[in-house]
Amino acid sequence: MLAATLSRSVVSRRIATHSARCLASKTSPPKSPAKDTLPPPPAPTGPSTPSSSSVPSLDFSPLVEEDEGPRERTGARSSKNSLSSIERRRRMLARGAFAVFLVGAGVQTWLMGREWEEWELKEKRMKIEDAPSTRWGRTRARITSMFDFFTEPLWPELLPGPHPSIPQKPYTLLVSIDDLLVTSTWDRQHGWRTAKRPGVDYFIAYLSQFYEVVIFTTQYNYTAAPIVDKLDPYQFFISYRLYRDACRSVQGEPVKDLSYLNRDLSKVVVLDAHAEHVSAQPENAIIMPKWTGDPKDRGLIAMIPFLESIGIFHPPDVRPILEAYHGKDIPIEYAKKEAEMKQKHVEEWQSGRKGLSTNSFTLSSLFGGGGQSSPIPPTYLEQKRREAQLQYQEEMAYIRANKDNFERMLKEEQEAMEREMRGGTVWSAMQAMVTGAPPPKDPPAPGSASAPVAAGATPPAQPSTA
């Protein structure tokens, strides 16, 4: 009886011990045993002890993996550095395109070394003896000309050729407006203001009888065009206008290259206040002092007699004349030359007058009357100058008499341009491209310059030309 009781108590104690171990294994993770410690011996089992398979054990380390031994290669290719079929196709296309580009560049380079053609020499303004004669020289010249868009004028010929039905002035006068015809000042009260040089209107109108007057400025169109419109509002005296896009670019500075002008340089005179702007052809240039806004300045008017004499005497080449006055005060030096010519003319007339008086018989000498001295006849220069002045006065009188008509025509032209800008649409432009006909325009206003003249009406007169 006592032995049975003791055995039941021992079994109950072991069951309680195992239950406590199970509860501890659920609340805290098992700890791996130390490397230097030996695992505890297994619990003794007896006939009355439960099997170890039915009791959870903590005598193992979950972090320790079994040795799997050396891995064997299967021969399969890794996909880490492999390319898909689309990527391989892209690479092939890229390589093919690059090869085609290299072949095309080589063929084009070889073709650039061909012989010069006539239109190329004309466009580059070169003679066959001055052009590169080797294949490499021709190739290099053609390659460098591809970048001329950024340094050369937009047009190979800046001015149109002479029209066969319109009389052409024999000489061309290029006039700058920067610090020569006008000057601009700025202050806090008025901002930017532009003032005209004294005598600029007379200078342009009078010399337009002898020269094809062209405004050539380094300013851009949007800043210079309003100034030119004020100088010649009715477009009577200024033939053409050239702006910054007609200049060459030399180290970032604009240069007026007259070789693009489409005019004979022996008949071209350039009037400028900046020597660096005419460095391409200094033999054709007259450099004048800059005008700083002095209202009593007479420098522009003082240049008229010299320029007028060139238009009157028609020299075959103006460059030797300009070279003779290089570095001198042209108005003063020319006034001396003209005074010498006048004195020589007077002396020749007086010598001829003396010979005529000694060998001639007059009616006044027969009756004892004293002969009256005749006035000295004018020189050829003075005669032509007087004719040009009368022509200028007639033109000014015509403009004053028809000023209202010119103002109305100018206003109508501006309004027509505004209507075209407002009425222009993408649809009308596409219609004009498809049909080939210009878009319809509004009928001209009655009495305008473009309106038809009624029967029996007299059209407005046109200004006379020299």
Q: What is the CATH number of the domain that holds 230?
A: 3.40.50.1000
Shared domain check, 218 and 112: no
Q: What is the pLDDT of residues 322-375, one digit of tens each?
A: 999 998 999 999 999 999 999 999 988 888 876 655 555 454 444 444 455 678
Any residues with CB less than 8 A from the CB of 14 and at least 6 apart, and which?
49, 50
Domain tally for the chain? Answer: 2
Same domain, residue pair 277 and 205: yes
Query: Looking at the domain assignment, is residue 60 inside a domain?
Result: no
Q: Considering the domain boundaries, does residue 237 fall inside one?
A: yes
Same domain, 181 and 131: no
Q: What is the pLDDT of residue 271?
A: 95
Please name the helix (run of DSSP H) or strand (run of DSSP E) that holds residue 311, with its range, or none: helix 304-313
List own/partner pairs for 435-444 with CB under 8 A and 24 or more apart: 442/416
Q: Tell me whether residue 4 is in a domain.
A: no
Residue stretches of the chain with pLDDT short of 50: 1-2, 6, 27, 32-37, 46-47, 49-52, 64, 361, 363-370, 443-466
Boundary residue ending a domain (146, 181, 202) = 146
The secondary structure of the chain in percent helix, strand, coil, rounded to multiples of 5, reads 45, 10, 45
Question: Hunting for tokens 């002045």 — which residue is that?
Answer: 389
The answer to whether position 232 is within a domain reads: yes
Structure tokens at 390: 């009368």
Structure confidence at residue 115 (pLDDT):
84
Tell whether 222 is covered by a domain. Answer: yes
On whether residue 288 sits in a domain, the answer given is yes
What is the pLDDT at residue 457?
A: 39
Q: Give me the pLDDT at residue 109, please.
A: 85
- Of 227, 287, 218, residue with least CA distance to 257: 218
Q: Tell whether 139 and 200 lie within a shared domain.
A: no
Question: What residue numbers bound the domain in which 224 lies?
Answer: 171-327
The predicted structure's pLDDT at residue 452: 42
Q: What is the pLDDT of residue 184?
A: 85
Domain membership flag for residue 466: no
Digit-coded pLDDT (tens) for 153-186: 888 889 998 777 778 889 999 999 989 999 888 8
Are 298 and 251 within one domain? Answer: yes
